[in-house]
Amino acid sequence: MSNYLEKYRNIGIAAHIDAGKTTVTERILFYTGVSHKIGEVHEGEATMDWMEQERERGITITSAATTCTWKNHQINIIDTPGHVDFTIEVGRSLRVLDGVVAVFCGVGGVQPQSETVWRQASRYKVPRIIFVNKLDRIGADFFKVLDDVNLKLKGNAVAMQIPVGQSDEFKSIIDILKGQMALFSEEDRGLTVKWVDVPEEYKDQLQELKSKIVEKAAELDDSLAERFLNEEEISVDEIKAALRKGTIERKITLAFCGTAFKNKGVQLLLDAVTDYLPSPLDIAAVEGMVPGTDVVEQRSAKLDEPFSGLIFKLMTDPFVGSLNFIRVYSGRITSGSYVYNATKGSKERVSRLLKMHANKKEEISELRAGDIGAIVGIKDATTGDTLCDENHPIILEKIDVPPPVISTSIEPKNKSDYEKLTLSLRKMMQEDPSFHFSYDKETNQTVISGMGELHLEIIVDRLKREHKIDVAQGRLQVAFKETIQKPVEIEGKYIKQTGGRGQYGHVWLKLEPLSRGKGYEFENKIVGGSIPREFIPAVEKGLDEAKNTGVLGGYPTVDFKAVLFDGSYHDVDSSELAFKMAASMAFKSGMAQADPVLLEPIMKVEVETPEEYMGDVMGDLNSRRGRILGMDSKIGNSVITSEVPLAEMFGYATQLRSMSKGRATYSMEFECYREVSKSAQEQLLKK
């Protein structure tokens, strides 16, 4: 019954920006017959980059899903963004994928966003293979990239191919296990692959690398290990089976090569996807909690199991309304049926089911275990919600959403657009959980927050184009946070007599610092009846609201624990409002005594610069309160890795261009929140 799943591959294409992910995906669509014309990124015609903003900038902004067939295997592909501002798109795609093709630039090797993607794949336990792209570029080196992967990512990468010719002389690829060289036809853009004998000068290298592969296979399979030690012959099929097992168990990463733009290597990469990456049957059963209990249940990729699936992306379509992208883990779902949203506790009707090809839609009657598709008709859902059978409820692991690090105020130029603006921003926030917006009552401004300058730029651009709202944008601001450094015990009393019935709320709280990244915790330690049980939620609500405005600069307070351990009440005058106010007053007073400190977002910045500008670049990073982590050489350039506060990075692109006469480049990604030094804190709070 589940045999069809053996031929399923749910994969993602992921990498650092400009490594060629979308170009690889476009070639996959061409070779599998989905598209009959290759869409080029630089011409703004890539099928998977369907948004206007993507085509103009030549970058992927939103992850796009598609389905194709290769050698009787159905391959569901998600092409993910490479720019750090859209990391959430990669994270939520990896959460629902079974395998990843990690694309590396043959010149750039391991870059900052490659490390982020690799970490995310490890977090979600996703097996991966490597495709080293752009081997036709000057300075490209397949084996150096693999050394880079093993050194920086601990990837245990093993070369499965040998590139023939280097840089602009790169012309073909040798398959090490096959022992033959592939020639790619220029006439049909690589559709025809012809296998020929390996040139004499590569035969020694071929033997050496093949023996390494056999050795790796023997390490992964005990029965092969014995035969290997006895120097017995091991067949290619047996080697492949061992390598597949090792890939699925994430003990090894098989590496392939080519140049997608010149139509070489992607055809063999498709073979590798079907040969080595897992089907839904090879992945461990997904685990989840039964709602309202601590009971853990599993769901296997079988049709006879109760239906369960995870919504990993929302998209608003002008023609069909809200699209909910779902990965089905067990059972099946049919159009017209009802499903249970276990996260929200609501029942929803599925009006239509769609198979997506970028922004094109194909209506289907059902989605089965292992499928990735879209549902029309679900109203009350957000990213990370679990849909399931109402009689067998389960809540699957949610999707990690990074906190916004930068914000700006916006205001519609036309006053009549205020209501429309709120509706549009709400839709965008549903689609993109890493984007937030709020209304600042003090300044009467709408504040939007996101992962970086480009992220907010795209949001503003989409408001203008898609939603026809022209907005004026304010100055960019960093999303600071506040925390405490020492524990305090504090009393909060709210007593008000107004002639009639008064107000009485009295709490004792202990505020304790937590380690960085822990957020906020509330614990009720009231024993006996010093505060009636019905007022405890009011105390929690009071704290929840108060922590959003800290005592230093009015920033949200994080990484602390509030313990309610005592208090008192009045039989007549006590109310929820009184206890909410008492908790809020205790928090404000306690914060001031708990040695509050400002936290700021720290960015990992990697600058690649010609050596003659290295001193200037390092001096400038130091002047921005940066900390140099290391230096490396890469084809005549120096690569400087550092950590710099985001507050100091505004306008850096212009400054770097000026310092290096336009020859240096940089990339930046969010690293963590860290305490601000006393002197810097004084300066920041004065601004």
Instruction: Enumerate the known binding-site residues for GTP.
Output: 15-22, 79-83, 133-136
DSSP secondary structure of 417-466: GHHHHHHHHHHHHHH-TT-EEEEETTTTEEEEEESSHHHHHHHHHHHHHT
Spatial separation of the C-alpha atoms in residues 670 and 112, rounded to whole Å:
10
Strands (E), 106-251: 128-133, 157-159, 161-164, 172-175, 180-184, 193-196
Q: 549, exposed or middle or buried, with CB in 10 Å at 0-12, 13-18, 19+?
A: middle
The encoded tokens of residue 165 equal 């010719």
Give the DSSP letter string of 572-606.
TT--HHHHHHHHHHHHHHHHHHS--EEEEEEEEEE
Plot region of 231 (φ>0 → left; ψ -120 to 50 → alpha; else → beta): left
List the beta bridge partners of residue 665. Answer: 608
- Is the separation of the CB atoms in 276 and 131 below 8 Å? no
User: Which residue type occupies 563?
Assistant: V
CA 558 – CA 351 distance, rounded (Å)? 42
Binding residues, by number, are: 15-22, 79-83, 133-136
DSSP lists the bridge partners of residue 180 as 175
> What ranges in 86-141 are assigned the alpha helix state H?
87-96, 112-123
Q: Residue 612 has what DSSP assignment?
A: G
In the DSSP assignment, the letter for residue 110 is S
The residue written with tokens 């290769």 in the block is: 70
Please name the residues in contact with 597: beta carbons below 8 A apart, sequence gap of 6 or more.
Answer: 482, 483, 484, 485, 552, 675, 676, 681
Angle, vertex CA 38, rays to CA 36 and CA 40, nearest 5: 155
Residue for token pair 């079988």: 302
Q: How many residues does the chain have?
A: 687
Phi, psi of 78 (to 5 degrees): -120, 120
